[in-house]
Amino acid sequence: MSERLQPGDVAPAFTLPDADGNEVSLSDHKGRKVIVYFYPAALTPGCTKQACDFTDNLDLLAGAGYDVIGISPDTPEKLGKFREKESLKVTLLADPDKKTLDAYGAFGEKKNYGKTYLGVIRSTIVVDEDGKVEHAFYNVRATGHVAKIIKDLGI
């Protein structure tokens, strides 16, 4: 289990396949701010709500200079189905080996109904134009999170 990122840390580099199997790297977004959000599973209610909220606010975020990337341990094929079913416009990346999730502190111990298990910790990391962490939000709620980010970023 890795450390949680803090503002000022260098955001870990990654290259992962998107829903079409194309490689996408954090470095592709150099010079722009990037909202990287981590979610447990495509096609589940909470993750669908969060992805739809990001899609609904994508023009606003892009206009303020932010790109949005969602990362989950799903396969590119499942991400493609998720994108089509929900008409998502955000970039969805697959991290089935959980290396990027771990590097960002978004995979670890969770508690649910008194049981402890390893899983994806719903998290959002805002990376600045120079690849440094600007904000790190952990254990966020799917509902209302995008509105909170917009408020916190002063958009």
Catalytic residue among 11, 16, 26, 47: 47
| Pairing status of strand 107-112 against strand 115-120 | antiparallel
Question: φ, ψ for residue 16 (rounded to 5)?
Answer: -135, 155
Q: Is 52 a catalytic residue?
A: no
- β-pairing, 91-94 vs 66-72, is parallel
Could you identify the residue written with the tokens 């408020």? 151
Residue 105: CB atoms within 10 A of its CB come to 21
| DSSP-derived secondary structure letter, 4 | P
Q: How far apart are CA 35 and CA 124, in angstroms?
A: 7
What residues does 133 pair with on adjacent strands? 127
The label of the residue with tokens 């503002």 reads 7
Q: Which residues are catalytic?
A: 47
